[in-house]
Amino acid sequence: MSVRKLKPITPGQRFRVVNGFDAITTDKPEKSLLAPMKRSGGRNSQGKMTMRYTGGGHKRRYRVIDFKRNKVGVPATVATIEYDPNRTAFIALLNYQDGEKRYIVAPNGLQVDQNVVSGSGSAPEIGNALPLSDIPLGTIISCIELRPGQGAIMARSAGAFAQLMARDGKFATVKLPSGETRLILVNCMATIGAVSNSDHQLIVSGKAGRKRWLGRRPRTRPVVMNPVDHPMGGGEGKSSGGHPRSRNGIPAKGYRTRTKTKASNKYIVERRKK
């Protein structure tokens, strides 16, 4: 994976950094795994704007991703590594021996024609999905389930990874990308390796129009609003705006909003770093 810095032949390209896409092997998605995506533009059923800074953007089709990896013991061959407009990571098309095709979130280092398999007893190699009980301690993992059979919900974005630290009884201790250390049931599935496209964080849009292509409208800073619109609005000139807070008055930057009596608090060994 690499990034490219463009020559500044236009103002929009002066600071632009683009993905090299050298890991991508095709630009044609598998038709049987595409689904339509309906967009609301941030409006509700009455046509009123309920979500700010949303709307426009290029038309997309959803790629149906297999987050559960529940095809146990059936080997699959990696056919392609593809771009997915709906996520920061790349995706991989698997051709199973029984003829079925599925997309997965591609781990870093996954190659075309490589064989992957899921389920207990599989080798702890890149792209294989195993229960936490079968993964060696210290292994870098991604696409982790929080409840058995739920499907992967943690460490799915570009470059993300977690580390399996310990096992004790029916729980495994996993260090998550946020820095949080958490207990997860050992029969939850996880994929070996970090998520692909780790250079995503280095990309620079270069111009406002590229944000519009992604469906993001211009965002108004709270300090330039009026007092009726935001707690940080009002004042003459460039006023500081008081303490940073949300539109509803909830303080930002350090104020803890997590419920102290939340049921899952007992599974968090160490909170994420501030």
Question: DSSP secondary structure string, 157-194?
Answer: STT--EEEEEEETTEEEEE-TTS-EEEEETTSEEEES-
pLDDT of residue 143: 97
* SS3 of residue 27 by DSSP: coil
pLDDT of residue 273: 78
pLDDT of residue 1: 66
pLDDT of residue 271: 92
pLDDT of residue 237: 83
Question: How many DSSP H helices and E strands does the chain contain?
Answer: 1, 15
**Is 94:116 a contact under the CB 8 Å cutoff?**
yes
pLDDT of residue 259: 94
* Token pair belonging to 174: 């996993």
* Token pair belonging to 182: 């958490």
* SS3 of residue 223 by DSSP: helix
- Report all structural domains of the chain as residue ranges with CATH numbers, in order of start: 3-200 (2.40.50.140)
DSSP state of 200: G
pLDDT of residue 242: 82
pLDDT of residue 203: 95
Q: Kindly give the confidence (pLDDT) of every residue in the chain, 274 residues in length, as a single tens digit, with 9 standing for 90 and above.
A: 689 999 999 999 999 999 999 999 999 999 999 999 999 999 999 999 999 999 999 999 999 999 999 999 999 999 999 999 999 999 999 999 999 999 999 999 999 999 999 999 999 999 999 999 999 999 999 999 999 999 999 999 999 999 999 999 999 999 999 999 999 999 999 999 999 999 999 999 999 999 999 999 999 999 999 999 999 999 888 887 788 999 999 999 989 999 999 999 999 999 987 6
Q: Whose structure tokens read 């003459």?
A: 236
